[in-house]
Homo-oligomer: A and B are copies of this chain.
Amino acid sequence: MREVLILAHNAAFLEDRIKALPWSAALTPAAAQAHLDIGEVRSVDRGEPVLREGASADFVYSIADGALTVEKGRSAGDTQIVGFLFQGDMFGVVHDERYSYSVRATVPCELLALPRPAFERICERYPSVQRAMLQMASNELAGAQDHLVILGRKSAIERVSSFLLMLSERNSRLGYPAETPIWLPMRRADIANYLGLTLETFSRVFTDLKRRGVIQAQSMRHVRVRDVDGLRELAEKC
């Protein structure tokens, strides 16, 4: 962790990360370089908000490093976390005038902020980027709907299992070996909130999963899935 933090301030490292962003692939190298010039790198401390629901949507962001929460306000202090964002994700794209949610860093983050006008010029110029954006929108929507299923129809243990499974599948999608532990950069309270539970309930279910041997805690923020099929079983019906 500390190592990553130090490296994040190394320009060459950051540039690599940025060039590895998914939509960069849709551009020519020259165009990608142009964005690096236009875009502004922004460092955000843990707990700090990046953008706020209702504010004018002036920038789109790409995550070079770190993890963030997407939250939707209710009355002050009482928000629902509607998603987590990790390295390589973008946010602030699918909006009109104003942001419809807030985004906050759960660990120190390195972001690339692109002014929206510049971003839109790029969209117009590169149809492949445009298409990638629509793709993103559809993914985001599908993700939100999966989340709705979790909140609407699942029991506590199903919710926690689904969540861990989701992160585990993300790991595989990124090509990490199956033993790679899941990284949980967010606090228990945030996970519980995301799952529509209290942190106590989450904690109880979590230790229950450990007792059953389905998962194994490496440390507070790292979990290994020992029995994916068992987890899938628990996530589906129970």
Binding site for B on A (CB under 8 A): 72, 74-75, 78, 80, 82, 94-96, 100-101, 134-135, 137-138, 140-142, 144-149, 151-153, 193-194, 196, 236-237
Contact = CB atoms under 8 A, between A and B. Distances in A.
Nearest to A158: B74
Q: Which 9 A-B pairs have the closest CB atoms?
A: A151-B151, A144-B144, A152-B196, A100-B142, A137-B137, A80-B149, A80-B152, A94-B138, A82-B148
A148 B144 contact: yes
A137 B94 contact: yes
A82 B80 CA distance: 17
**Interface residues of A: mostly helix, strand, loop or mixed?**
helix
Nearest to A136: B137
17 contacts: A72-B146, A72-B148, A74-B153, A74-B237, A75-B237, A80-B153, A82-B145, A94-B134, A94-B137, A96-B135, A100-B138, A100-B145, A101-B145, A137-B138, A140-B141, A151-B151, A153-B196
Nearest to A81: B152
A237 B77 CA distance: 12
